[in-house]
Structure 1
């Protein structure tokens, strides 16, 4: 990645995950992290999904988290605890700076 692209990614990360902008503190797997919840994007992905087996159809939360704050990309169908509630990972994608994770409820 070029120096310009690296700086652009750092700047985007600094704004996007900023607590005064889009970021929110949540507890994931017992650790506080800044994440960005985007349920509008989740609804858009659900509306545009043509594959009922992609995990998005039954997801209820979609969020972004910095890769550096998360140990590794979670596996689909693995368990993840968000704010004390257990979920199954419906999908997990990554880019240069973040993971996009969709979660589905596990029932009562």
Structure 2
């Protein structure tokens, strides 16, 4: 087993495992296992790694998801339905067969 195989095994069996870190969420009408992190999104904003226009109250989240759930790499400003809410893709990075999606949305509260 090489490093890539070990890493893939860890991603599937630990990180995205619903008994460990993974949680079921709905992405574009399909239930998927992923990891969400609001703190990561906020840290990126504070450090200036992520810049989003001002507006109404802004909600943001970083989603770590296996590439197999998406037929294409999401691009900036693309709309995605996540847990039955419309989000905007701020950024998408690919790491080790996963996408790290930074999503945001404006709310009126």
Place the TM-score, normalised by the shorter chain, in its bin.
0.7 to 0.9
Contact 1:93–1:99 under 8 Å retained in 2 = yes
Aligned to 2:95: 95
Higher strand share: 2
TM-score, scaled to structure 2 = 0.82
Partner residue, 1:67: 67
Q: Give the match for residue 24 of structure 1.
A: 23
Indicate the RMSD between aligned Cα atoms, in angstroms: 2.2
Runs of 4+ in structure 1 displaced over 6 angstroms? none
| Deviation per residue, 1:26-78 (Å, 9 max, x gap) | 110011100100112222222222663xx499661111000122222111101
> Is 1:44–2:43 an aligned residue pair?
yes
Task: Give me the whole-angstrom Cα distance separating, in 2, the residues matched to 1:75 and 1:107.
Answer: 22
Gaps of 5+ in 2: none
Secondary structure at 2:14 match in 1: helix
Q: What TM-score, normalized by structure 1, do the two folds share?
A: 0.83
Using the TM superposition, give the Cα deviation of residue 23 of structure 1 relative to its aligned residue in structure 2, in angstroms.
Answer: 0.4
Residue 11 in structure 1 maps to residue 1 in structure 2: no
